[in-house]
Structure 1
Amino acid sequence: MSKDIKITKGLTINLKGEAEKTLASAPRSRTFAIRPSDFHLITPKMVVKEGGSVQAGDTIFYSKTNELIKFVSPVSGTLTKIERGAKRVITNLLIEADPQDTFKDFGVLSPTASSPEAIKARLLESGCWPFIMQRPYAVIADTEIVPSNVFISAFSTAPLANDPDFSLHGKEKELQAAVTALSKLTEGQVHVGVGKSGSSPFKGLKDITLHNVSGPHPAGNVGTQINKISPVNKNEVVWTIAPQDLVIIGELLITGKFNAERVIALSGSEVKTPKYYRTRIGSEASTFLYDSGLKNENVRVISGDVLTGTKISPKEHLGYYSNTVTVIPEGDDYELFGWNKPVFDKISTTRALTFSWLTPNKKYNLDTNTNGEHRAFVVTGNYEEVFPLDMYPLQMLKACMVQDLDQMEVLGMYEVAPEDFALTEFICVSKQPHQQIIRNGLDLMYKEIG
């Protein structure tokens, strides 16, 4: 049985450079990288030393605070370099890959016949546990807490983002194994949000509660769907998992192998032939960037979508959780009197000298220019127009900035993640870093409240 969720508040950002629905295999990356910074609040404790050989699935490091949470190699090869930053903090782990992968065999595990304890132990042992995130705090799930529900968003509304219906095509068997396993690890249900008009592979699966979602961005955000299905209360924990990570979990249970395969959407107005590539977690971005070709050199390469992604160089590696790479103009030039003339080539939620509201379906070629400097918050009421969660976004941001824990609790901080504020950051006339403010607020709550 499916249930409908219709989002009315939000903003659809139509950008040029959508990835064509064709799938190619990216050239094999020579090196792969794992950045501990991708795992928020995790301090790594190394297991493999420089020069050590690893198979795909071998543990490279574990969490210093919880040795059960392991992080494994996406490929077989040699750990050639451990890069460190200030105070000898590990910033990057480089693996020189073998020509062909050899896999550690974890053994086949039937999700229907296995106990919750056996499933949990397999996810921890194999390095699949870091795919499971929890709310509150938007961090890797606590191994000791049973979630009240599990939420999966298989509907993407972010600009130029990966289309789950396409990238998950033909993976029904793996998805079924994963959701069946997860259904045994929760007291509640596995909720899956899919596009109302799409052809999602989730629509024929068992052990899930399906929700048909429609509306503008951020309708595809899992936080938006949680808010409409079952909001997170104090002393309550829910899990969230990305759809492609379910495929890795499902394949692990079916074959016993940790296959870190990713289907990447290479998109953006600066890509000559934007399309989908099959690659692996942590691969070099250049393997598919130069295969498709770039139109210019002065570009911003983003591991992720344009609203929530991280800037990387073409020679750097994919983020651990990224399934999109976006390339747009850098935007380091400035317009003379740009604030004092009619604007036809930018998106705006206001009608002051801007005309994007006249052509809602027009596609734009936006760059990274913020079109203004950082300044104090201006109370405009615009955030509420694009923020569909039943909360007060401006008050929540201010409570985080002044570190008012009581107010943060009252306003609903247990439910949100930084990505829920990406759209309010995009339209912010004050150019405030909303996502970083929320991240700092969540970290403070995690430290003080736990």
Structure 2
Amino acid sequence: MSKDIRIKKGLDIKLVGEAEKTTTDVSLSSVYAIKPEDFHGITPKLIAKEGAEVKAGQALFYSKSDERILFPSPVSGKVVEVVRGARRKVLAVKIAADSKQSYADFGTKDAAKLSGEEVKNHLFASGCWPFVKQRPYDVVANPNQAPKAIFVSAYASAPLAADLSYTLAGKDLEVKTALAALSKLTEGKVHVSIGKTQTTVFDGVEGVELHKVSGPHPSGNVGTQIAKIDPINKGEVVWTVSAQDLVVIGELFLTGKLNITRTVALTGSKINKPQYVTAIAGATIADVVKGNLENDNTRIISGNVLSGTQVKEDGFLGYYDNQVTAIPEGDDYEFFGWNKPVFDKVSTSRALTFSWLTPKKKYDLNTNTNGEHRAFVVTGSYEDVFPLDIYPMQLLKAFMYKDLDEMEALGGYEVAPEDFALTEFICVSKQPHQKIIREGLDLMREELG
């Protein structure tokens, strides 16, 4: 039985460059990289030194706070470089991939016959635990805290996001196996959210509570779904797993191998032929977009335009990302741009802007902020695109002046940076909302645990 969730507040940003439903296999990159910054809040302790030979699935480093949480190599090969920053902070571990891949064997398991502790240990040993994240704080889950529920969002509503119905097609067995394993990790429910008109591999899956979601972005954000289904109170924890990572976990139980191969959407107006490609997490961006990128004043983003990470061609695909977006770099400025009618931009305001007249029009937007950083202006516009039962402006201010009591009282436990991506997009003050929320959550985690 499914339960419908209808989101009314939000904003769909329609951009040109949506991926066509064709998939091309990308050849193996020569170099892959795992970046500890992809796992926010983790202090890495290296296991594999430079020159070490590793198999796919073999641990490269572990978390200083819990030695059981391992971070594996996505490919077999040789560790060629450990990139370090200030105070010898580990920024990336680079692996030169073998031409023929070999995998560490973790053994096949029947999730239905395992206890919760046995499932957890299998995820630890194989390096799959980082796929399990937690709210509050939006970090890799603390295995010592029992979650009241587990949430999976199988509905992507972000601009140009990969169509999960397409990318998960044919992965029924892997998905069902992963959900059976996850159900052993909580005494509560496993909630799966899909699009209202979406036909997916989740139809008919037993042991989960299925929800059908409709409405504008951020209806696909797992934080929005948690708020509508089972909000987080102080002292409570929920775990989240992305739909694409269910395939990795399911394949681990079925084959005993860790295979972090993703179906990645190449999107945006600067991609010559927007389509899907298969690539392994940590692949070099140049290899993922090879021959398909118009690299003329282009911003490349690993992820979506609202919450993704800017990368260069010699950068690497993010560990959790299944989308690469390329859009024009906004480094030009319009003369008197603030004082002219606007027809080619998205706006929630009707002051000399006309995107509201053509809700289905697709835009070729660049990265220009169309204004300068200034103090918060109270317009009431944030509430129009923010569906959580929270005052976004007040919470942002509490996070900025670091009042822990107010941060708690105003809903700090419920939010993640991506929940504020839309308010940042429409912000007339050009404030970095996601950065403010991330720093505030880090402070809460440090001070309140």
Per the TM superposition, whether the score is higher than 0.5 is yes
In structure 1, the residue matched to 2:3 is 3
Give the letter for the 1:325 counterpart.
V
- Displacement of 1:187 in angstroms is 1.5
State whether residues 4 and 212 of structure 1, in contact with CA within 8 Å, keep that contact through their aligned partners in structure 2: yes
Matches of residues 284-323 of structure 1 in structure 2 within 5 Å? 284-291=284-291, 293-323=292-322
CA distance in 2, matches of 1:207, 1:315: 43
Q: Secondary structure at the match of 2:124?
A: helix
Matches of residues 147-226 of structure 1 in structure 2 within 5 Å? 147-226=147-226
CA distance in 2, matches of 1:279, 1:295: 20
- Displacement of 1:288 in angstroms is 2.5
Q: Secondary structure at the match of 2:202?
A: helix
State whether residues 332 and 369 of structure 1, in contact with CA within 8 Å, keep that contact through their aligned partners in structure 2: yes
Deviations 1:222-265, CA, capped at 9 Å, x for gaps: 00000000000111000011111110000001111001111100
Deviations 1:165-188, CA, capped at 9 Å, x for gaps: 110000010000000111111111
Give the letter for the 1:252 counterpart.
L
TM-score normalized by structure 1? 0.99
Note if 1:52 corresponds to 2:58: no
**CA RMSD of superposed structures (Å):** 0.7
In structure 2, the residue matched to 1:101 is 101
State whether residues 111 and 177 of structure 1, in contact with CA within 8 Å, keep that contact through their aligned partners in structure 2: yes
Give the letter for the 2:82 counterpart.
I
In structure 1, the residue matched to 2:133 is 133
In structure 2, the residue matched to 1:411 is 410
Note if 1:342 corresponds to 2:341: yes
**Residues paired across the two proteins, number:** 449
- Displacement of 1:76 in angstroms is 0.3
Give the letter for the 1:443 counterpart.
D
Give the letter for the 1:306 counterpart.
V
State whether residues 192 and 208 of structure 1, in contact with CA within 8 Å, keep that contact through their aligned partners in structure 2: yes
Give the letter for the 1:128 counterpart.
C
Q: Secondary structure at the match of 1:203?
A: coil
- Displacement of 1:296 in angstroms is 4.2
Q: Secondary structure at the match of 1:216?
A: coil
- Displacement of 1:316 in angstroms is 1.1
In structure 1, the residue matched to 2:273 is 273
Deviations 1:100-121, CA, capped at 9 Å, x for gaps: 1101100011010111111000
CA distance in 1, matches of 2:85, 2:226: 37
Deviations 1:377-416, CA, capped at 9 Å, x for gaps: 0000000000000110000000000001001111111111
In structure 2, the residue matched to 1:398 is 397
State whether residues 263 and 279 of structure 1, in contact with CA within 8 Å, keep that contact through their aligned partners in structure 2: yes
- Displacement of 1:65 in angstroms is 1.4
Note if 1:21 corresponds to 2:21: yes
CA distance in 2, matches of 1:295, 1:136: 40
Give the letter for the 2:25 counterpart.
S
Deviations 1:31-65, CA, capped at 9 Å, x for gaps: 10001111111111111110000000111100111
Structure 1 residue ranges, 4+ long, deviating more than 4 angstroms after superposition? none
Gap regions ≥5 residues in structure 1: none
Matches of residues 239-278 of structure 1 in structure 2 within 5 Å? 239-278=239-278
In structure 1, the residue matched to 2:372 is 373
Q: Secondary structure at the match of 2:173?
A: helix
Matches of residues 53-132 of structure 1 in structure 2 within 5 Å? 53-132=53-132
Deviations 1:111-146, CA, capped at 9 Å, x for gaps: 101111110000011100000000011110001111
CA distance in 2, matches of 1:190, 1:209: 6
Give the letter for the 1:142 counterpart.
N
State whether residues 44 and 61 of structure 1, in contact with CA within 8 Å, keep that contact through their aligned partners in structure 2: yes
CA distance in 1, matches of 2:293, 2:151: 36
Gap regions ≥5 residues in structure 2: none
Matches of residues 429-440 of structure 1 in structure 2 within 5 Å? 429-440=428-439
State whether residues 172 and 205 of structure 1, in contact with CA within 8 Å, keep that contact through their aligned partners in structure 2: no
CA distance in 1, matches of 2:93, 2:239: 27
- Displacement of 1:294 in angstroms is 2.2
CA distance in 2, matches of 1:165, 1:261: 17
CA distance in 2, matches of 1:284, 1:331: 24
In structure 1, the residue matched to 2:427 is 428
Give the letter for the 2:416 counterpart.
A
Q: Secondary structure at the match of 1:20?
A: coil
Q: Secondary structure at the match of 1:24?
A: strand
CA distance in 2, matches of 1:230, 1:304: 27
CA distance in 2, matches of 1:112, 1:322: 29
CA distance in 2, matches of 1:38, 1:418: 14
Q: Secondary structure at the match of 1:69?
A: strand
CA distance in 1, matches of 2:439, 2:293: 35
- Displacement of 1:285 in angstroms is 1.1
- Displacement of 1:204 in angstroms is 2.3
In structure 1, the residue matched to 2:331 is 332
CA distance in 1, matches of 2:446, 2:115: 33
